[in-house]
Amino acid sequence: MSTINEFFIQYGYFGMFLAALLAGSLVPFSSEAVMGALLIATDMDPVLTVVAATIGNIAGSMFNYSLGRLGDLEKVSKWLKIKPKRMEKAQRWVNQRGVWVGFFCFLPILGTAIAFVLGMMRTNIWKTLIAISIGKLLRYILVASTVVALF
């Protein structure tokens, strides 16, 4: 088992929260791997593990959303090294579909961009939070259910 997973295992539910927070923010990280390691290597409750992961990952996305609210399209494009035309395209896509695209913030890489764009567009924070929460919760339920069923 990797040293990183051992660190998160040592801290249990808080470790799961931290892993998910990192994965939900700007840090490329696999909280699903940590969840799998925790559920296989410990006797942690799968429901509480899902709760810890979901709260941490939501916090990471809301951090991205907040950064988006602070920035403008040009600054964020430069910072993320994304061409302005791509950011504008993402912004149009979100405009057409509304705040509920926050559901897809669970997707790797794309989810970070979605949260940023939602923040830049100053979408309703409560609707954004709900949309993001639903997607993240369902993803972690699926991961935990799969791990528990297989192991």
For position 65, what pLDDT does the model report? 95
Contact 128, 101 (CB under 8 A): no
Q: Which residues contact 43 (CB under 8 A, 6 or more apart)?
A: none
Q: What is the pLDDT of residues 66-120, one digit of tens each?
A: 988 987 667 766 766 667 776 777 778 888 888 999 999 999 878 888 898 899 8
Which pTM was predicted? 0.88
pLDDT at 9: 85
pLDDT at 52: 98
Pairwise CA distance, residues 55 & 77, whole Å: 28
> What percentage of the chain carries pLDDT values higher than 70?
91
Q: Is the pLDDT confidence value at 1 over 60?
A: no
pLDDT of 123 over the 80 cut = yes
Structural domain containing residue 45: 3-150
Closest by CA to 42, choosing from 76, 1, 75, 79, is 1
Share of the chain above pLDDT 90, in %: 58
8-16: long-range contacts at Cβ-Cβ below 8 A with a sequence spacing of 24 or more?
Answer: 8/34, 8/37, 8/38, 9/37, 9/38, 9/41, 9/42, 12/38, 12/42, 12/44, 13/44, 13/48, 13/49, 13/52, 14/52, 16/44, 16/49, 16/52, 16/53, 16/56
> Over the stretch 45-59, which tens digit does the pLDDT of each residue have?
999 999 999 999 999
State how many domains the chain has.
Answer: 1
* Rounded CA Rg of the chain: 16
pLDDT for the residue 77: 65
Which residue bears the tokens 């907040």? 66
Q: Which segment of 39-43, 51-55, 110-114, 130-134 scores lowest on mean pLDDT?
A: 110-114
Taking each helix axis as running N to C, give the angle between helix 110-120 and helix 46-70, from 0 to 180 degrees, rounded to the nearest 10: 50
